[in-house]
Amino acid sequence: MKLQPMNDFSTGKYLALILVFHSVLSIIIFSKLKIYYLLNPFVTAHAVLMSIFGLRPLVMRYPTDFSFYGLDSVTGFNSAVMAGLVASAALTLGFISSRPRDTTVLKSEPFSKDKVLMRARVVSILVMMIWVALMILLGGTSVLSLLSQGRSDELNASFSGVPILLQALPASSFIVFTASLLFLGRYERISMANRIELILLFLLTAAPSALLGDRRIIFPMAICMLWVLLQNKRDFRLGIVSSLGFLVAGLILTIYPFVRSSGAREGINLPTATYRFFRENGLVDVFRGYLVKNDTEMFNFVSYLTTRVGTEYQFGYGRGTFIDLLREALPSSLEASHTWSDMILTNMFGGGCASGLCPVPSLVGVLFYDMGILGVAGGFFLLGFLAKKYDGVVSTSSGLALVVTLTFGAYCTVIVRGSSIAMIWIALNVILVGHFGLKFVFRNYMLDSRGLVRR
């Protein structure tokens, strides 16, 4: 039976058009379509907001597009678009209200580039070896074979209760090497051999996440890699070839959720399953699927919340952000069902995330159910304010400051898009390991007002 289009929701769609126009204009004016600046958190946050709260509502037409696990996400359509528009406007306002950080690089005492790189290699490889050993210890010798087959109940059972710190090790390994190259790149050009080495390390550390179709790890690592590769080529603009490259990469990442389970692959490998899915569905259906299915269903979540939080559900007033982040540090047996996000899900579906239904609200949703529309405006104003200083901090800082800035900048996309508090907790675990790894790499040096000096 042919689906009949829903009502026009003309007000919401006009607001969505304004959001798309505003985001595109903000991205172009700031980045001037230079790839290095397209990776700034200001741009990536705008891109996420545009896809969820701009493009998705524009293509929503049929009842299935409004489906949200049996709940009504129609009533709050206009309010959800407005929440996204407030976030987008606050992001830009925060950005233009901030002053950029000075990018002047401090002078440095002579140091051995080869020794620093060797230590960075040792730390990165050692962290990956520890990860592999712990994976086998916790999941058994068959775990690596299970990884190659995609997500499955057997694999999930092997890693139930595994601490986030273990899951963060591959990203931490890559952050250490990336931060080391970023620091060295301030004083001399990174060689082609080092660039190839970086790409190979990316393929190695991203492989486990790629096999499982976990874009929460792949995307931040890819951003870090591009920052290093473009560090001394900041004026390199988006062209035909680079645009096609980003299109292909985006297409693959869009298809991943549909082929990451072992059942969806039907015994074939991931690249073959990805190609088969694209061949069977075509370019238009793949991208429309991205805009009306799980990848942007956060819009439906926010649409449901906007008409109920403050009436049926209480505002969190910090319990959905700061307190939930503190509870992420607790073992799952202690924190489950006590988080504010789980209380929201229990009110909606009768059970928390562990019960099976676990849609993600996006940062807009988290801020809204915690502090309302003022929380959305304040949170994104702060994000824009910090994003303006991002390039300067990455270009001049070292040690913990460099690891923190690099990690949160890379994770900004998944924090804005997904289960924000969980993503922040993963980023904090990456920072923890990355900080100690970088301390070993530069253990004989410190950065002060004179630059990099021997201790």
Residue 225 has a pLDDT of 94
Min mean pLDDT across 69-83, 181-195, 207-221 is at: 207-221
Kindly state the tokens that stand for 363. Answer: 């940062």
Min mean pLDDT across 54-68, 127-141, 291-305, 429-443 is at: 127-141
- Tell me which H or E stretch contains 454: strand 451-454
> Please, how many CA atoms are within 13 Å of residue 361, restricted to the half-sphere of its CB?
28
Min mean pLDDT across 52-61, 128-137, 431-440 is at: 128-137
At residue 448, the 3 state secondary structure works out as strand
56-115 residue pLDDT tens: 999 888 777 888 888 888 889 999 999 999 999 999 999 999 988 777 666 666 667 888
Task: Band the pLDDT of 356: cuts 50, 70, 90.
Answer: confident
Ramachandran area for residue 446 (φ above 0: left; ψ -120 to 50: alpha; else beta) = beta
C-alpha to C-alpha distance for 395 and 68, rounded to whole angstroms:
43
Ramachandran area for residue 140 (φ above 0: left; ψ -120 to 50: alpha; else beta) = left
Residue 4 has a pLDDT of 41
C-alpha to C-alpha distance for 158 and 138, rounded to whole angstroms:
7
Closest CA to 105 of 201, 218, 231: 231
Distance set, CA 238 to CA 33, 39, 244, 255 (Å):
6, 12, 10, 24
20-72 residue pLDDT tens: 999 999 999 999 999 999 999 999 999 999 999 999 999 888 777 888 888 88
Residue 398 has a pLDDT of 80
Angle between helical axes of 192-212 and 113-139 (0-180°, round to 10): 10
Residue 452 pairs with which residues in a beta bridge? 108, 447
Kindly state the tokens that stand for 245. Answer: 């490259």
Residue 105 has a pLDDT of 65
What is the arithmetic mean of pLDDT over 295-324?
90
Kindly state the tokens that stand for 390. Answer: 């991002």
Rg (CA), the chain: 22
Contact (Cβ atoms closer than 8 angstroms) between residue 131 and residue 174: no
Contact (Cβ atoms closer than 8 angstroms) between residue 274 and residue 258: no
- The phi and psi torsions of 313 (rounded to 5 degrees) equal -115, 145
Kindly state the tokens that stand for 45. Answer: 């946050």
Contact (Cβ atoms closer than 8 angstroms) between residue 432 and residue 204: no
Min mean pLDDT across 44-53, 210-219, 421-430 is at: 210-219
Residue 14 has a pLDDT of 93
260 has a pLDDT exceeding 90: no
- The phi and psi torsions of 395 (rounded to 5 degrees) equal -80, -15
Dihedral sign for Cα atoms in the order 411, 413, 415, 418: negative
Higher pLDDT, 384 or 153: 384
pTM, rounded to two decimals: 0.90
C-alpha to C-alpha distance for 314 and 307, rounded to whole angstroms:
12
Kindly state the tokens that stand for 119. Answer: 């230590």
